[in-house]
Amino acid sequence: MAQVRKEEVRNRILDSALVLFEEKGYLGTTLNAIAKHSNTSIGSIYVYFNSKVELFFELYGPWLKKQLVALHRKSSRVKDPAKRLERIILGLWYDIPVARNQFTNSFIQALSSAKPEEFNSALFVWCTEKLKAMIEPTIPPERAALLVGHTVTDILFMAFDGYAINYKFGMSKRHAQQSARVAALLLRGDEIEEIADLTFK
């Protein structure tokens, strides 16, 4: 019975934290506010989580993985490899960053305030491997060497961070669509005449 109660308290903390992170962002949410919203105490929060960063990643990690799995599933329906790659990049650079009231912007806030030992490297490794698995079938065989190691996926995820920040300041979906198209062209080595006509607005 005590164990059930502990699980209920933990879940209540997580539910309240999610509401507040979505509403106020990572930086605008305090442990005091989470404790008050969940009808617990800061001491209770520290029973389950070592820090606000750890609490945030307990929520964001599974959510991000779910988004990438969904993106993999949806993009797999696109038969043309070039269009599928473009769809994958657009999902990474637009769909995920703007989802759930720009939840990913809180992720950037959490990362920027985290200590080195609080960085969730396991999550990053999982995400880059998942992205690599999505991209590999869309790249021509002669370009496969680009995906050796994690350089390309690292670059794509660094851009993911940047786009997540810029949507807060009004960057348009059209901008992301054009960026995804150019990135797909460059990765595949495709020669498209109208690439020079792509304007960023």
Residue 147 near residue 49, CB atoms below 8 Å? no
**What one-letter code names the amino acid at 137?**
P
**Band of the pLDDT at 40, cuts 50, 70, 90?**
very high
* CA dist., res. 131 & res. 133, Å (int): 5
- Are residues 71 and 166 part of one domain? yes
- Are residues 123 and 178 part of one domain? yes
**CATH label of the domain that carries residue 17:** 1.10.10.60
- Are residues 103 and 162 part of one domain? yes
Q: Which of 1 and 136 is assigned the larger pLDDT?
A: 136
pTM across the whole model:
0.88
- Are residues 42 and 59 part of one domain? no
Give residue-wise pLDDT tens across range 17-30: 999 999 999 999 99
- Are residues 94 and 6 part of one domain? no
Domain hosting 5: range is 1-49
Residue 155 near residue 142, CB atoms below 8 Å? no
- Are residues 66 and 28 part of one domain? no
pLDDT over threshold 80, residue 3:
no
Work out the average pLDDT over 148-175.
89
- Are residues 43 and 70 part of one domain? no
**How much is the pLDDT for 193?**
60
- Are residues 62 and 35 part of one domain? no
- Are residues 130 and 143 part of one domain? yes
Residue 123 near residue 61, CB atoms below 8 Å? yes
CB neighbours of 160 closer than 8 A, spacing ≥ 6? 92, 93, 96, 97, 104
pLDDT over threshold 50, residue 105:
yes
**Band of the pLDDT at 6, cuts 50, 70, 90?**
confident
Percent pLDDT > 70 in the chain is 93
- Are residues 147 and 77 part of one domain? yes
**How much is the pLDDT for 5?**
60
**How much is the pLDDT for 53?**
95
**How much is the pLDDT for 155?**
95
**How much is the pLDDT for 1?**
43
pLDDT over threshold 90, residue 145:
yes
As for how many domains the chain has, the answer is: 2
Query: CA separation (Å) from 50 to 25, 47, 157?
Result: 19, 8, 27
CB neighbours of 95 closer than 8 A, spacing ≥ 6? 67, 71
